[in-house]
Amino acid sequence: MENKIKVVELFAGVGGFRIGLEGWGNKSASSGFKEQIEPQYEIVWSNQWEPSTKTQYASLVYEHRFGKENHCNQDISTVEVEDIPDHDLLVGGFPCQDYSVATSLKNSKGLIGKKGVLWWSIHKLISEK
């Protein structure tokens, strides 16, 4: 496919969205990763940064799977919007800890929590792009 949909992947983790969109090695899960597919999507930039850890394991796994090119291991709130390529689709494995029902309402922080505030990076990117 010549005109692929250009995708920016935020909170990329180890690349789940990317595998879902591009397939794994140009093969899709629907064929048990046996048949070649023509991906309609192309990840043009990705970001994975875990604020509470020194070693960025998820980002390292992502880089091992897909390479370092166009992958950013930096706090998304410090990335300049103009440094993120133009794209057609924005996806993100949004950090859910501050919204999860797995914690009590007393401990749930929502939009003001350490990871809940990451929503505003999505909002900024959508607003400015």
* Cα-based torsion angle of the residue sequence 56, 57, 63, 66 in order, rounded to the nearest 10 degrees: -140
From the list 96, 103, 114, 129, the catalytic residue is: 96
Task: State how far the alpha carbon of 43 is from the alpha carbons of 57, 61, 98, 104, in Å.
Answer: 20, 16, 27, 36
**96 labelled catalytic:** yes
Catalytic residues: 96
